Structure 1
Amino acid sequence: MKTIIKTNFVKNLAFAALALISVSAFAQEEEETPKFSFSGSVDAYYRTNLTAPNGEDAIAPGSSFANLDGFALGMANIIGAYEGEKVGFVADLVFGPRGTDAIFASPMYSATGDIVNQLYVYWNVSDAVTLTFGNFNTFLGYEVISPVANFNYSTSYLFSYGPFSHTGLKADFDLGSDWSAMLAVMNPTDLTELNGTGDYAVGAQLGYSGQFLNFLYSQGGFEVDYTGGFDVSEDFFLGINAAHFSQEDDGGSFTGVALYPQLATSENFTIGLRGEYFMTGDFFGDAAGIGSDADGDGSVFAVTLTGSATIGDLILKPEIRLDSSAEDAFIDNDMDPTGSLASVLFAAIYSF
């Protein structure tokens, strides 16, 4: 008969193996547990003109957001996200003037504008393929709707004239070796609640190591956009955005380029400049802050100097902006037409 020998060493070894298996199983279970996250931001600002009237006769650059007079509100942004092993969702809600402006084309179900900035589900089909279905912010351009993710608080003309959001189906591909690609079928630009036209837009993106070449075709309009940036040194970053849009049958066009040099002077403070040249043709030519000549063409050169100071989760941004139009698109303090506008603002952004 086989003799079974039980010793303290064997017992301890068995207990250690059992403990190791239990810890490993617990860690694996914990790692695979879906995660719910809650984040967002709140922002407000003060803005005033230096070379133009304020108050009742106040004017502003022809770009989106941060154009209100005196003490003004940005938006409250609340984002709920659920991240599973393979599937998840994002519900991104906005409240306030900036949020309402961002979803200007979808006020169908609310007299004051819808509150949905993004609302989508996704499926990680594999390590290399992700499908996203629903309403998502645009893949074009350097700047975004959220003030937390932008260095400058006011926005560029390129951002303002490009699309804000899309609703549809997109597929993201990880091609390996820092290459990526994206293909999308969507409603026409900025129609995020429903289609309503019977037309569809198509989009594509090719990326390499943080540089992206984007394409969008929507209702006879074609846009090509380059967005990227480079770490020139440990403390100095240069962002770049360039785009061209044209509408079929001489329906209008715009072309622009913007540079974003940013220098970190300390752990909590960075100073940055946005220099932008933007020109329009035909139906875009009458937009505020651009102006137009007899042929319907206009252009503007804008320089924005911004400081960004971080205090915990609070970001303070003082900013001075100079807009210079080829035509007399602005007025001065004597209410006479002029081609330039100088303004300043101070913004406070809290993110959580």
Structure 2
Amino acid sequence: MKTKTVTNFLKKACLFALAFASFSIVAQEEEEEKEKNWFDNFSVSGSVDGYYRYNIGAPNDNSVAPGTSFANESGFALGMANVILGYEGDKVGFVADLVFGQRGEDAVFNSDDSAQIVNQLYAYWNVSEKVTLTFGNFNTFLGYEVISPTGNFNYSTSYMFSYGPFSHTGLKADFVLSEKWSAMLAVMNPTDYTENNPFDTYIVGAQLGYSADKGSAYLNFRYGNEGEPGEVGPTFQADLTTGWDVAEDFYLGINATYLSTEPQEDGDAAGFYGVALYPQYKTSEKFTLGLRGEYFAQYNGGLVVIDGTDISTPFGVDTEGDGSVFAATLTGSYDIGDLTLKPELRVDSASEDSFTDNDGELTKSLSSFVLGAVYKF
């Protein structure tokens, strides 16, 4: 009888041990699978870039350059190192986009020194299949070009990009309206004030998008008091960005923008407007040739900045504060694995004297050559 009792006890103990071991194995496998899925949803990407720039018929001492952002140093110069950390879950995720170097510092110029490495920093929530909320600092939704050189065909940037917004901090909601149509609404700090809001004013943004197999088109808006010191009224900007595969090897992009800032007191509105075409032809698997032809104008001194006795403007204006520039940029893009070389010839021609030639005389045009090198990982 005692032997039978012990045997039954051993059987139960063995069954319990087997069940516990099975439970432990299943729990461990689930934990390992959870950890594996988290790692699978985590990503690291980015780029590094640099360039060489040479003025043709003008000084090469950094005193003369096109009035646009980033690629304006003479000789061999650094772009930026860009590291993007991201997590994409079923419902939530984040992006931490960090930049180092001259291009990065120029892109986040309103940040304090301690935060000049942050290009984007936001979290998002997929509320449903049709609604996504994003909170934090994100690059602008306006315009054709972007801060990262991996997102642009031309290495140098346009006037419309350089004087439009770079980044915003706020809350935006993206909506999927149908298979091809989308929309976006946002409430944001004054443009490019990404660290905080020192003015207690806000701007609103909106976008209507259409996307198809051959291309896409986006109509963008922003409106509000930008909160800059001085007597200024609300700023309104409308922007159209579109690009289409016209043929198998031929692509055409178009960007048009208009901005107006109303005065709070008597006076006329000031601002700028422009249009650019981006035709690109792919000659082989590794090489593509593209042209950016841009017309850009300011009116009533919309881009003139007066700081004490110093007056700055990207190009000359007449006595009414009006001026314009036409910039033609021919760029080749040659891929060597993850490295892309971009030789570029650019000519800027302004309506007023805007540049300096080798004789120290003011002139309306500037020709320059750029060789950019961009590595993407």
Counterpart Cα distance in 2 of 1:99 and 1:251: 32
Structure 1 residue 277 and structure 2 residue 295: aligned?
yes
Counterpart Cα distance in 2 of 1:277 and 1:244: 12
TM-score by length of 2: 0.83
Name the counterpart of 1:196: 198
Aligned mate of 1:312, from 330, 334, 337:
337
Aligned mate of 2:257, from 230, 243, 246:
243
Name the counterpart of 1:69: 74
Name the counterpart of 1:351: 376
Aligned mate of 1:93, from 89, 98, 112:
98
Name the counterpart of 2:121: 119
TM-fit CA distance, 1:251: 4.9
Counterpart Cα distance in 2 of 1:179 and 1:293: 43
Structure 1 residue 58 and structure 2 residue 63: aligned?
yes
Name the counterpart of 1:33: 37
Counterpart Cα distance in 2 of 1:131 and 1:114: 25
Structure 1 residue 327 and structure 2 residue 327: aligned?
no
Counterpart Cα distance in 2 of 1:47 and 1:54: 9
Q: Which is higher, the Rg of structure 1 or of structure 2?
A: 2
The answer as to whether partners of 2:301 and 2:320 remain within 8 angstroms in 1 is: no
Q: Secondary structure at the match of 2:301?
A: helix
TM-fit CA distance, 1:164: 0.2
Name the counterpart of 1:45: 51
- Give RMSD over aligned pairs: 1.8
TM-score by length of 1: 0.89
Q: Secondary structure at the match of 1:144?
A: coil
Structure 1 residue 266 and structure 2 residue 284: aligned?
yes
Deviations 1:114-141 (A, max 9, x none): 1100000000011111000000000000
Deviations 1:79-116 (A, max 9, x none): 00011111000000001000000011122x53xx6110
Name the counterpart of 1:3: none
Counting aligned pairs with the same residue, the percent is 65
TM-fit CA distance, 1:333: 1.1
Aligned positions, number: 323
Counterpart Cα distance in 2 of 1:191 and 1:316: 33
TM-fit CA distance, 1:285: 4.6
Counterpart Cα distance in 2 of 1:300 and 1:33: 52
Instruction: Write the mapping of 1:207-222 to structure 2, written as runs, cut at 5 A.
Output: 207-209=209-211, 210-219=216-225, 220-222=234-236
Q: Secondary structure at the match of 2:87?
A: strand
Counterpart Cα distance in 2 of 1:230 and 1:44: 29
Q: Secondary structure at the match of 1:98?
A: helix
Stretches of structure 1 lacking an aligned partner (at least 5 in a row): 1-21
Q: Secondary structure at the match of 1:148?
A: helix
Deviations 1:273-331 (A, max 9, x none): 00000000123354544210000111000000000000000000000000000000011
Counterpart Cα distance in 2 of 1:317 and 1:302: 18
Deviations 1:195-216 (A, max 9, x none): 1110011000000121000000
Counterpart residue type for residue 60 of structure 1? A
Q: Secondary structure at the match of 2:149?
A: coil
Q: Secondary structure at the match of 1:176?
A: coil
Deviations 1:37-70 (A, max 9, x none): 0000000000010021112x63001111100010
The answer as to whether partners of 1:140 and 1:163 remain within 8 angstroms in 2 is: yes
Counterpart residue type for residue 202 of structure 2? Y
Counterpart Cα distance in 2 of 1:294 and 1:288: 14
